[in-house]
Amino acid sequence: ISRTWFLSIIQNDFRSGKIDLDNTMKLLQKLQMPFDFTHVKHVFKKTVDKRNAHLINIEDFRAIYRAIVHRPEFHELFRVYSPNCKILANTKLVEFLKKEQHETEACETTAIEIILKYEPIEEVRKRREMSFEGFIRYLSSEDCSIFRNDHRTVYQDMNHSLCDYFISSSHNTYLISDQLIGPSHLWGYTSALLKGCRCLEIDCWDGSNNEPVVYHGHTLTSKIPFSSVIQVINKYAFVASDYPVILSLENHCSPKQQEVMADYLENILGDKLLTSTIGDTEVTQLPSPEALKFKILVKNKKVGTIEEGMLRRDLDSRGETGEISDFEILSDDDEIDEKAPLCTRSGSSKRKSDRRHSPPPRKKAKMKKTKIAIALSDLVIYTKSQKFVSFEHSLANQKCYENNSIGEVRARKFVKHSAKEFVSHSSRFITRIYPKGTRTNSSNYNPQEFWNVGCQMVALNFQTPGVQMELQNGKFLDNGGCGYILKPEFLRNHNSTFSPHNVGRYSKPMSLSIRLISGHQLPPSNLSKTNKADPLVQIEIYGVPEDQAKKKSSVIKSNALSPRWNETFSFTVQVPELALIRFCVEDEISLVANEFLGQYTLPVLSLNKG
């Protein structure tokens, strides 16, 4: 049956006798199987080289198809459940689903659904059976992906406070290369939003003709108009996710150009821009991602409280400015760290300065005053930027809608020396971590250490590939790739005593057994003329320090098309809720060096059995 079906699809293309490489590729696509061009080209070349020609006949094509598609490991599995090695009855498919795929609920209906979806041969499909061709297509499909199908859509409770989620966040989103001389480009925003990023950074500076510009200040990076950035965000904000986008403004503009920014935000974003509280004006808890669907929030410094801003809503505040006074202190890691603001207002109506229990400044402190246009200040609702002083100070003074940004160097010290206090802080306040200034080549830090203490916005340079962005992309595959992931209960609970260094009673040990079976159509080595590689696989766990682990497979010599390992690896994961697993395929170039071929990272709890 399979042969008849196969010939019926391809014989038309062989009317003139033989076909070339291009038509071979087209024909393979017609058979609806994923093919890698370099591998097809290699197998094709091997076939024609024997005869010194550049065309193949129908039997050659069948041999190429079988060489690539009819994988021996699939055959072995099929034979176990198909006594005649030709057809799988639906009862046998149910047995396979239960035994191999651990689908305990599987029944005849499940099997029939799979047959109708994947069986390409009509008469087999009508008999509610499965051929080897259907079996291959099923095993190569997303339904058999290692990533759980039910995690491909939003499945978590989206009604918790914004503070209770990890939020996909980008640093200096406008840069697409390095931090000093490279281009700023609108593509930075488009690509981050299309990857599900929900917190974007915009560095704003005064531009000519009263037009604010976006670039990395005091560097030679190119400039783009603020208005263009907002137009791009307006266009792409909700393509990948319905959940709120937060614009983190690093604002260096004069009050006059801040008013221009406020105008652009209101006019371009329209109803998408959040300009007032949802429900109560008195804010005691942040709203949920669900309540803020399709909304864009502005994160910036703010004069006074949300309540005061709301009272001003219908007044024209053009020309009015407020002043925020900070004690600026150069801390030991050379990151500027400012004491709590003392707010004053100037403009049409003076009001008493709001002295926020500010502790006396330490040595090396100088007063810094920042002028803020009231028009822009009033657009800040639930995401008010607040200088971080200390965990104690925040606990005593900070409001739930005030967020802190902490540089990676300082944050790493907190993780090391006061992890419990850090967890307590991030359970109450949105905390953003950003790369240190010396990462001029746009390199990234490992985000895992800050997720481990519950930091919501761990901002990375999205333009820089590498393990750090692979962890970011892997983590945010979860929950439908919507950019918001509910933090584990022990990172949301205000009374939590969780520490990543000593998980104690928060441990829920999980035994993980991974059987590495085979690879298929791996990228060949850059050094190989003959489409070969010597592949090996590293399996890594990222999580709390105790869970960090790495295991390595053996090397399969000269086989990028279909290496077979059949090795089993076991891990014990203490805190699976925070753990990611990374499969990295490398080509062994020499005893001391490997070349990266590809990787896949996903949350441990999103792993599919089977």
Q: Would strands 457-458 and 484-486 be described as parallel, antiparallel, or unpaired?
A: unpaired
Residue that the structure tokens 């085979």 belong to: 518
Compute how many other C-beta atoms are within 10 angstroms of the C-beta atom of residue 104.
8
For the question of residue 54 being annotated catalytic, the response is: no
* Phi, psi (degrees; rounded to nearest 5) at 259: -65, -35
Q: Write down how long the chain is.
A: 610
Beta strand residue intervals within 23-161, DSSP E: 87-89, 129-131
The span from the CA of 229 to the CA of 217, in Å, is 16
Under 8 Å between Cβ of 383 and 246: yes
DSSP structure class, residue 144: G
Q: Under DSSP, is residue 69 helix (H, G, I), strand (E, B) or coil? A: helix
Pull the structure tokens for residue 270: 């329209």
Closest CA to 455 of 475, 432, 485: 432
Q: How many CB atoms within 10 Å of residue 11? A: 10
CB contact burial 119-146 (16+ within 10 A = b; e otherwise): bbbeebbeeebbbbbbbbbbbbeeeeee
Adjacent-strand bridge partners of 354: 343
For residue 135, which of 89, 190, 179 has the smallest C-alpha distance?
Answer: 89
Does residue 373 contact residue 320 with C-beta atoms inside 8 Å? yes
State the catalytic residue, choosing from 216, 393, 425, 494.
216
Q: What angle do CA 496, 502, 507 make, to 5 degrees?
A: 70
Question: Residue 559 pairs with which residues in a beta bridge?
Answer: none
| Residue 183: burial class (beta carbons within 10 Å; 0-12, 13-18, 19+) | middle
Cα(32)–Cα(119) distance, integer angstroms: 12
| Nearest residue to 504 via CA among 456, 562, 544 | 544
Whether 538 contacts 601, CB under 8 Å = no
Q: Is residue 75 annotated as part of the catalytic site, yes or no?
A: no
Long-range contacts of 37-41 (CB under 8 A, 24+ apart): 38/523, 38/524, 38/531, 39/68, 39/521, 39/524, 39/531, 39/560, 39/561, 40/64, 40/68, 41/531
Phi and psi dihedrals of 9, rounded to 5?
-80, -40
Report which of 348, 230, 244, 248 is spatially closest to residue 296, judged by C-alpha positions. Answer: 244
Coil, strand, or helix at residue 153? coil
In the set 160, 171, 425, 520, the catalytic residue is: 171
How many helical (H) and strand (E) elements, i.e. helices and strands, does the chain have? 20, 24
User: For 560, which DSSP code?
Assistant: S
Phi, then psi, of 111 in degrees rounded to 5: -60, -45
Catalytic positions, written as ranges: 171, 216
